Amino acid sequence: MTNRLPRKASKAEFHKMQPQAVEPGKSRTWITRAGNFAVAVSEVEPGAVLERDANPEEYMVILPPGGASATIEADGQIIDAKPDSLTIVPPGASRITATSKGLVARVLSKASADIMALAWNSDTYADGAPELAPPDLWPMPHDGYRLRHYPLGQYAKPGGERIQPRVFRSTNMLVNLFVHYQTRRDTTQLSPHWHDDFEQASLTLNGRWVHHMRYNWGPDLSSWQPDEHGEMGTPSVVIIPATVVHTSRDVGDEETSLYDIFCPPRLDFARKKGFVINESEYPLPDAPADDKTKTGGSLLAWQKPG
Ligand SMILES: [Fe+2]
């Protein structure tokens, strides 16, 4: 960890704030950015259209369980996407048309400048976030860009481990769509850790969550930040800055959900053979010159490098 003063976490609890984009009667979209990506969560009615004219890079579309269903079109392909699915959309023109009411979450990279500019917290990143590793694109998929669609139910093991990671990656990001939780996290088995030079978004769509965060100290006492232990309702998202020690736990009695998002993809996860579900579709990058471990602290077994 360095002596640099960490950037403050961005927290968005959507129903407590105005949306950043509205299609009257059809959709309301809350846009929260990090240094290298943005999370856009839309409440949609049937017929709502979420369109990209010429998106520079791939983006991801998460339709949560109980969320909206939609047709997703790009490059002459069309997919009938159901709730509880992930779709990777190729660069270029694309269109999502909701066929039922519910939530649609999109993750777009920094290259989607118009989306980044709409974010409610764009001022937080006005300095360009120089502490972050650059979001270099990883190699193109083996068979070229196309719509890639993953119904998620097949990757859940009912009655299995409480924490079931489900990790997917593209050329520009990596998401971990944990199987939803019916029981609460054991408070003697938390995993406070930090990331040296990349940020993490934790998107929570069900239940209530506490994101514990501790900011690194710098040499100036007056700039020290208090720990954060605030409880958040859902749907909501938190952007955890680089170097901030963090761990999240769910509270209350309801089903809970948490999806982690990283951009660029995490090399430590991508190198764990068999860990990234769609790893056979995307080549790994050549080993970078700076190949050190980027994550420190208390880690659970699944979080450790392979
Ligand atoms: Fe983390």
Q: What is the pLDDT of residues 14-30, one digit of tens each?
A: 999 999 999 999 999 99
Task: State the distance from the centre of ligand 1 to the C-alpha of 238, rounded, in angstroms.
Answer: 12
Amino acid symbol at 300: L
Task: State the distance from the centre of ligand 1 to the C-alpha of 259, rounded, in angstroms.
Answer: 11
pTM: 0.95
Task: State the distance from the centre of ligand 1 to the C-alpha of 139, rounded, in angstroms.
Answer: 24
In the numeric block, which tokens belong to residue 243? 């170097």
Question: How many Cα atoms occupy the beta-carbon half-sphere of 145 within 13 Å?
Answer: 20
Q: Contact at 8 Å (CB) between 85 and 99?
A: no
Confidence of residue 3 (pLDDT cuts 50, 70, 90): very low
Task: State the distance from the centre of ligand 1 to the C-alpha of 246, rounded, in angstroms.
Answer: 6
Instruction: Residue count of the chain, please give it.
Output: 306
Task: State the distance from the centre of ligand 1 to the C-alpha of 125, rounded, in angstroms.
Answer: 20
Task: State the distance from the centre of ligand 1 to the C-alpha of 45, rounded, in angstroms.
Answer: 33
Task: State the distance from the centre of ligand 1 to the C-alpha of 129, rounded, in angstroms.
Answer: 18
Task: State the distance from the centre of ligand 1 to the C-alpha of 10, rounded, in angstroms.
Answer: 15
Mean pLDDT of the chain: 94
Q: Contact at 8 Å (CB) between 290 and 278?
A: no
Task: State the distance from the centre of ligand 1 to the C-alpha of 31, rounded, in angstroms.
Answer: 21
* Mean pLDDT of the 116-134 span: 96
* Cα 159 from Cα 192, distance rounded (Å): 26
Express each pLDDT in 147-190 by its tens digit: 999 999 999 999 999 999 999 999 999 999 999 999 999 999 99
Confidence of residue 6 (pLDDT cuts 50, 70, 90): low
Task: State the distance from the centre of ligand 1 to the C-alpha of 268, rounded, in angstroms.
Answer: 12
Confidence of residue 290 (pLDDT cuts 50, 70, 90): low
In the chain, alpha helices (H): 113-118, 267-270
Q: Which of 49-53, 236-240, 264-268 has the lowest mean pLDDT?
A: 264-268
Extended strands (E) in 15-58 = 21-23, 27-33, 37-44, 49-55
Task: State the distance from the centre of ligand 1 to the C-alpha of 254, rounded, in angstroms.
Answer: 23
Express each pLDDT in 182-217 by its tens digit: 999 999 999 999 999 999 999 999 999 999 999 999
* Cα 251 from Cα 234, distance rounded (Å): 12
Task: State the distance from the centre of ligand 1 to the C-alpha of 286, rounded, in angstroms.
Answer: 24
Task: State the distance from the centre of ligand 1 to the C-alpha of 267, rounded, in angstroms.
Answer: 14
If phi over 0 gives left and psi between -120 and 50 gives alpha, with beta otherwise, what is residue 125?
alpha
